[in-house]
Homo-oligomer: A and B are copies of this chain.
Amino acid sequence: MKSNFSATKSLFDIPKDIIYLDGNSLGPPTTITSKKINTFINEKWAKLLIKGWNSDKWIDKPKNIGNRIATLIGAENDSVIVGDTLSIRTYQALHAAIKLKPKGKVILSDSGNFPSDLYIAQGLIESLNLSYELRIVEPHEVFDCITEEVAVLLLTEVDYRSSRKHNMLQLTTKAHTMGAITIWDLAHSTGVLSVKLQEANADFAVGCTYKYLNGGPGSPAFIYVAPKHQAKSENAIKGWLGHASPFNFTKQFQPSSGIDKMQIGTPPIIASTALEASLDIFDIVDIKDIGIETIKLTEFFIDQTHKHCPELKLISPTCSQKRGAHLAFAFTDGYALMQCLIEHGVIGDFRMPNLIRFGFNPLFIDQNDVSKALEILFDIMQNKKWDKPEFKVKSYVT
């Protein structure tokens, strides 16, 4: 199959006056998303009502969608389940990893991990009253810090700020030699990089679907449990959908087998329908081609800014194999610059203390968009257009 990015681009209805370089934070809707939801509500929910759980197989959506995502992250069939939020999935993965009783007593993570992952680890240690230590090192120190003390290696593959990408195979391999279990957060990888969980022999992975998968704000998350761990993995939150026979309504919890055991409550079907719509696009492109295209776009952006905007300091790795699909630049007045860019139709975002980020999702961003964005950026920089009071009033952004 040859990936046709002009075909995918036509499936997004992004306003003509903007260039959206923030799909790494929130993907845009596809043109079929609202139609699919409409059809679901009016033809399925309204007509089938309660019967839809069986006859339209709503109950199977978490696993069916999980299997579609599995193909994008190099995971085995029936090893991914969809639902809940990334924070909850991380809680489940970490709890399950600890219950597998690795020898060490350290949960190793790095300062580039998304804070929620660190909070979840802190909270779990505290509430389970565990004698574990959460050790946070610098990203470049991770490899050397994987010692026999480590029980769980908890990392986000692509740093949400710098875009630095960890070497999943290398770190997982070393973790295993030290008796540690790995949890990979794929928030900034899924749908844009060729992740290879099975090849890397990864143990657990989690991810969200509202970034490069375009599932919508707060769309359901997912968890991956390697087939070898499924039998012994426990679900921390024993809701009825993780029961072997939830509809028998027995008083005693009996875990389901396989990846199904990681389900918790009633699955979100409207949100799942939106996600199914956006996943349809991946039927006409190859995830490898998306990765290749991303490299072209980011390399072009790096090259041009290096030439024309040396005052923007790239903090993402220059080697394309070592980064994700977004770029981050340090600039003292980064916040004001980003507000000014947004005002001029180039949507990226800002991260404390001084970083501006641009995401490049080839499903809807092409070379032409990038050229236009660069033109606007250069004009703003050359004429210091960002240096106005109105761009300096801060408010939160996600």
Residue A203 CB within 8 A of the other chain: no
A107-123 interface code vs B (CB 8 A; 1 in, 0 out): 00001001110111011
Q: Is A371 an interface residue (CB 8 A)?
A: no
Asked whether, in the complex, the Cβ of A52 is within 8 Å of the Cβ of B217, the reply is yes
Instruction: Report the count of interface residues on A (CB-CB < 8 A).
Output: 92
CB distance from A327 to the nearest CB of B (A): 16
Inter-chain contact A136/B251, CB cutoff 8 Å: yes
Segment among A25-33, A144-152, A279-287 that sits at the interface with chain B = A25-33
In the complex, the chain B residue whose C-beta lies closest to that of A90 is: B239
The answer on a CB contact under 8 Å between A237 and B41 is: no
Partner of A29, one of B41, B99, B114, B271: B41
Contact: B251 with A118, CB < 8 Å?
yes
A114: which B residues are within 8 A, CB to CB? 240
Copies in the assembly, this chain: 2
- In the complex, chain A residues 23-53 whose Cβ is within 8 Å of any chain B Cβ: 25-26, 28-29, 33-34, 37-38, 41-42, 45-47, 49-53
A288 sits at the interface (CB 8 A): no
Interface contact B236-A127, CB-CB below 8 Å: yes
A residues 216-260 touching B (CB-CB < 8 Å) = 216-221, 234-241, 243, 246-253
Pick the residue among B128, B265, B270, B342 that contacts A37 (CB under 8 A).
B270
Cα–Cα distance between A236 and B237 once the two chains are bound (Å): 11
Kindly identify which residue among B54, B87, B216, B234 contacts A45, using a CB–CB cutoff of 8 Å: B216
- Kindly identify which residue among B13, B15, B252, B342 contacts A122, using a CB–CB cutoff of 8 Å: B252
User: Are B49 and A28 in contact, CB atoms less than 8 angstroms apart?
Assistant: yes
Task: Write the nearest CB–CB distance from A354 to chain B, whole angstroms.
Answer: 13
Docked-complex contact A239 and B53, CB < 8 angstroms: no
Contact A119 B239 (CB under 8 A): yes
User: What is the chain B residue whose CB lies nearest that of A161?
Assistant: B249
Query: Given B84, B119, B238, which contacts A123 in the complex, CB threshold below 8 Å?
Result: B238
Q: List 12 A-B contacts (CB under 8 A).
A: A15-B47, A18-B49, A22-B50, A34-B41, A41-B216, A45-B217, A58-B217, A86-B266, A87-B241, A119-B253, A219-B270, A247-B398
